[in-house]
Copies of this chain bind each other. A is one copy, B any other.
């Protein structure tokens, strides 16, 4: 696209895979131009430029500092590993560069606050790389879910973001390295799921965040797969669930029900096709006489898009940057608020996952003494602990020991005929 003389000049720090998509988007956005690209090695940056057909006019830098020091760079797109965000994002803001930061924005909300404070005090625009928020289908979905007649009050939201990581990916990709992207699947994929739920709730934060007991980590402790549920204050009956995983088949489901409608969109992050995207909804559904069918069938809504969603994101970001430059506007705080709420909820999921209850210690010590009926360690409580209830909060080996210790008495139950032995590694 022919760039206008006033186009926002982008620098990109880092030649990650996703850089190719966003570099293309910068070229497609009418108010943006790709001005410079940097890698830690100038060779890598040159190769990237050559392989991706970047114009010879694009400056190539062999360090991020050099790019940030270039006064012609108006804005930076930063696809660095999460653990590097704090350092480089703060520096970019101090150098007065508008900041389009890849998600997850930071390792935790404390880091993100430092980035946002740097952006605010330097008067630069902040936005994270949640491209799906900029697709016109997303706006159409929002019209639907905030239509009190067609959809009504939202009460159930489910979002997933799953990808099948190859063995190679799971062992060596930066997205599962504790020193680079310590948030793993929760950061890389859960960001979308959480973002979708907050978007659907018009950014009203949940009051309870509850990790499900299905977390899977790699040997370095990085989360490869997890699920969580979200709950709001008692007067708001919404329940939301997320599932994010590097260990599962490709899915990007967003399913919602409201008091008068439902919707299903199974490609909400990356539409099946770039130029056209759809979703299904029903409104006013009920069963026909005798409950042998429904009075409606789902309707499909299709939305076309002239520009890819990443280009629309770049365009919106550059528009904010233009408004600051031309009219002396303050940065639009909307995007920082969205990122911060997403990070806050992501932190809460991580905290819920990391929680390890001290009940574990109590169970393990009792098992060492061959005690199988383990009472609650809370003083004045005479109840017995239930192995099934404790399962989510005790490590596998403790659970196994407990289960095996219990096993014989369970199998000897007189109701054996129907007996089901739930304990791991049991031969019954």
Contacts and interface: CB of A to CB of B under 8 A. Distances in A.
A329 to B, nearest CB: 20
Given A210-B213, A237-B216, A297-B272, A255 B258 contact: no
Contacts of A358: 376, 378, 380-381, 383
B355 A389 contact: yes
Contacts of A43: none
A51 interface: no
A273 B259 contact: no
Contacts of A415: 113
Contacts of A113: 415, 418
B376 A21 contact: no
A341 to B, nearest CB: 8
A97 interface: no
A402 to B, nearest CB: 13
A292 B285 CA distance: 34
Contact of A287 (B225, B241, B250): B250
Given A214-B231, A293-B274, A247 B237 contact: yes
A286 interface: yes
A262 B266 CA distance: 10
A335 interface: no
A248 B151 CA distance: 12
Interface stretch (A53-61, A62-70, A152-160, A317-325): A152-160
A47 interface: no
Contacts of A245: 155-156
A129 to B, nearest CB: 12
B237 A249 contact: no
A374 B162 CA distance: 38
Interface in A232-266: 233-234, 237, 239, 241, 243, 245, 247-251, 253, 255, 257-262, 264, 266
Contact of A249 (B24, B249, B261, B274): B261
A23 to B, nearest CB: 10
Contacts of A308: 292
Chain A residues touching B, range: 35 or more
A424 B255 contact: no
Given A239-B243, A266-B298, A389-B355, A271 B293 contact: yes
B208 A388 contact: yes
Interface in A390-428: 391-392, 396, 415, 418, 420, 422-425
Interface of A: 17-18, 20-21, 24, 109, 113, 116, 152, 155-156, 158, 160, 162, 164, 205, 207-210, 212-214, 216, 225, 227, 229, 231, 233-234, 237, 239, 241, 243, 245, 247-251, 253, 255, 257-262, 264, 266-267, 270-274, 280, 282, 285-287, 290-294, 296-298, 308, 310, 340-341, 344, 348, 351-352, 355, 358-359, 361-362, 376-381, 383, 386, 388-389, 391-392, 396, 415, 418, 420, 422-425
Which 7 pairs of residues, A with B, have the shortest CB-CB distance? Answer: A358-B381, A377-B378, A214-B239, A249-B257, A250-B285, A272-B294, A212-B229
